[in-house]
Structures are given as structure tokens and as C-alpha cells.
Copies of this chain bind each other. A is one copy, B any other.
Amino acid sequence: MKHQQLGNTFVLLLSTGERVIESITAFCREKSISAAQFTAIGAVSEVELGFYNLATKEYAWKKAEAELEIDSIIGNVALFEGEPLVHAHATVSDSEMHSFGGHLKEAVVGASCEVFLTPLQGKLERKYDDTTGLKLIHFD
């Protein structure tokens, strides 16, 4: 992954085979980013999407090993137990332009992936929430 800073925004370029969530997480750890928002477009060769069942508090996962366009990734970065945690949702589409979406567990980059990440002043923190079973952003 390569990056360049333009004003307050980081442009991250991921190449074939790189992992989107892992790469953004590592970048935020390296730069000590404790709050951020980002968007991304590009293509994947593999993606794992989740659907959260609030009743059972479990994710259903669906993994696709196929070339897919990334129509949109919208995500944010917050600290969980002191470490940056990336939360992102994605829409991807196949060669018929049909769309699929959900919670983005991980994606392996196909041709390329362009991430525009803007750190926010201060910090965001996540804490495990018993009611939902999720690591939710927590304000004191």
C-alpha cells in the first residue's frame, strides 16, 4: 500500500492482493490515528460480507472469491481497547452489474483500490455493548 497526504486527507492506494481492512488498520496504527472517516472505490478478487442477526447476536457471513467492482465502501476508524478498529460497509457488483452488500469483514484487492481517509480531531472509542453484542462507538 502506498499513500500520500493532501491537506488533511490521506489517499491510500492498494494494489492487487492487498487486504483492505487489514491495510487501513495497519496504516492508522502506524500514523496513530484515533478517529477517521473514509470512502473507497476499486475492485476486489475476494470479499467477505456480513449480515448481523440482532436476535441471535451473530453475523451470517458470505464469502465471494470472484472479481467484483467495489461500488462503495463507507467506513470509520475508532479505538477499541487502545487499538484502531476499522468499521466499514460495502456494496460490490458482479459482471452483470448486480449489487451485493453488507458489513465488510475483509476484501482482497483486484485491480486497484483507492481509499480517501480523513482523520478527525480527538478520538472515537468503541466498547462492547451487551444489548446488541456489538462493539459500538461509546461517548462518555
List chain A positions with a Cβ less than 8 A from chain B. Answer: 2-4, 6-7, 9, 11, 13, 16, 35, 37, 39-43, 45, 49-54, 60, 62, 67, 69-72, 74-76, 87-103, 110-112, 114, 116, 120-124, 131-132, 134, 136-137, 139
| Minimum distance in angstroms from A61 CB to a CB of chain B | 10
Pick from B9, B51, B72, B93: contact of A37, CB below 8 A: B9
Q: How many copies does the complex hold?
A: 3
A62-B97, A71-B102, A98-B100 known; A111-B132 Cβ under 8 A = yes
Given the complex of chains A and B, what is the CA–CA distance between A35 and B93 in angstroms? Answer: 26
Residues in chain B near residue A11, CB distance under 8 A: 76, 120, 124, 137
Residues in chain B near residue A70, CB distance under 8 A: 89
| Minimum distance in angstroms from A93 CB to a CB of chain B | 4
Pick from B2, B103, B116: contact of A69, CB below 8 A: B103
A11-B137, A13-B136, A54-B110 known; A60-B102 Cβ under 8 A = no
Pick from B41, B94, B110, B111: contact of A88, CB below 8 A: B41
| Minimum distance in angstroms from A57 CB to a CB of chain B | 9
